[in-house]
Chain A
Amino acid sequence: MFSLIAPLFQRLYDETGLNFIIFYDRYEYDRFVSGIAISLQLIFWSILLSLVIGVLGAWVQTSRSRLLRGVVNGYIQLFRNTPPLIQLLFFYFGLGAFTPQVDMGGYYEPLISSFAWAILSLGIFGGAFNVEIFRSGIEAVPKSTAEAAESLCFSRWQTYAYITLPLAFRISLPALTNNLVSLAKTTSLAYVISVPEMTYTLNQVWSDNINVPEMMLVLFLFYVIIVSLIAAGLHWLEKRLALPGYGR
């Protein structure tokens, strides 16, 4: 791949001065590829964590205990109404200061790396929105469905897992698409705790090579592609899961 595009971009630079160094310099290319890999991992894991939190949180919100509901409600309001940037800083610097250090043979590394803190923090942030989304999806499932399940001797958890959730998931997919796309974009904030994802990597590249406009273009393209892929994937899922006669 690299040897294929390198001469082309080298010539582009020589002839027009457009310096896409990440496509013809081996070192910068490797940096770019690792930036993509870390960004994708960050997006994948934080989306996964946010979904898990969303499903569990929405389940707890259907519980009979007012205390549990209140706690989840408090969590949602806290994380929805504070800036994700400060949440990241708080998790990484505030709580990170208390996590134990691990002896790596000569030097010490925190047990939870900045990458892991980014996943945790972004996942918890996105999860707060997902709980609300799933909850409104669950509320939209007709009561009679759950009653029918109950009459078939499904337990509360079984009703939730096999009946309510699959239906609620379909109803909440459009809103979920929006939130996951916005979460994917928010992962660029991991820059502030120096996770070497795309924004951070390209920032280093343009600091080293003074080719800001070209790298900005690459950065824009990267996020536009990622966002389009996620949106397209979820729209495909929406179509695939559509039940005849259910929803729009």
Chain B
Amino acid sequence: MKTVRPFRIDAEALSSFLPSRAIRGWQGLLLLGIFLASLAAAQAQGVAAPQTPSAIATLIEWMPFILKGFVLNLVMSFLAMGIATVLGIALGMLQLSHSRLLRAPAWIITHLFRNSPWLVILFVVMLLVPFEVELPGGRNLILSDWIKATIAFSLPVMANVSEIVRGAIVSIPRGQWESAESLAFTRGQTLRWIILPQCVKRAIPPWMNWYALLAMATPMASILGVREAVGNAQAAMEAAGARPELLVPFYLFLLLLFFAYIYPISIWTRAIERKYAVET
């Protein structure tokens, strides 16, 4: 319970104006600084061998290729998040079903995927799901690697969304259910019109958090040959002569790329979390 005292400055409400917030800006700059410093170092190394292009020139030359891979990372993360959200909400509600027959499998699926490493799930889907699936119409659906990887990434997120939904529904006070029942709402109606709308606020910050984790997991697809940002960067280094001085700038560029995408999301998540914080 937050007590409001008169004539007292509320540090939390003022926090967005306080200097501690200004530090944030230079955290991003710090990474940029390291990146530029490494470029300078790589440049200095490159001077020794003038006939080959410097590491920065190589990086700039291959940048569009890596960025093209990064677009695939984004597409995979969007699709996987969509799948995970739909399935996760269904699974979360099944976990709270009155019927044990529905509850038990939902619980098992949730906990199996929550407790296994992403990489293991990725291997399972990539190696055990067939490349081609025959549709009932007699046509063949080709599941390319990146689609299979997307499905693989959606599974652990689905399990965690399921837990988020379950947790959010459980966190709604019992009185809400009881008063809805006294107003002759059925269980389904209560869920649809009363409980779920209240869950949205509570579930959005963790949901966004999981999106960030998902986006950070997509580079794993490169291990199994999907040509996304990391795979493309490695291919580019290979093509540019596999010189050791390329490694630091290329991998730092990848780190920076993901940081530039994920960091704003996590700041935004925290802002929403503060805004929606439920006073208890």
Contacts and interface: CB of A to CB of B under 8 A. Distances in A.
Interface residues of A, number: 40
Given A78-B259, A89-B230, A94-B247, A220 B252 contact: no
Given A86-B251, A188-B117, A192-B223, A81 B212 contact: yes
Given A81-B258, A83-B258, A89-B230, A191 B119 contact: yes
B71 to A, nearest CB: 16
B251 A186 contact: no
A95 B124 CA distance: 32
Given A78-B31, A80-B266, A86-B254, A224 B128 contact: no
A192 B220 CA distance: 9
Interface residues of B, number: 38
Contact of A82 (B117, B218, B244, B262): B262
A199 B216 contact: no
A77 interface: yes
Contacts of B222: 85
A87 interface: yes
Nearest to B263: A81
A224 B117 CA distance: 9
Given A81-B259, A81-B266, A86-B255, A188 B120 contact: yes
B216 A84 contact: yes
A94 B254 CA distance: 12
Interface in A179-196: 181, 185-189, 191-192
A174 interface: no
Interface in A184-217: 185-189, 191-192, 199, 203, 212-213, 216
B248 A86 contact: no
A188 to B, nearest CB: 4
Given A188-B117, A216-B123, A224-B115, A86 B219 contact: yes
Interface string B242-254: 0010011001101
Contacts of A2: none
A186 B222 CA distance: 16
13 contacts: A70-B26, A74-B27, A78-B31, A78-B255, A81-B212, A81-B263, A81-B266, A94-B247, A186-B117, A191-B119, A219-B123, A220-B120, A223-B116
Interface of B: 23, 26-28, 30-31, 112, 115-120, 123-124, 127-128, 212, 216-220, 222-223, 230, 244, 247-248, 251-252, 254-255, 258-259, 262-263, 266
Interface of A: 66, 69-70, 73-74, 77-78, 80-87, 89-90, 93-95, 97, 181, 185-189, 191-192, 199, 203, 212-213, 216, 219-220, 223-224, 227-228
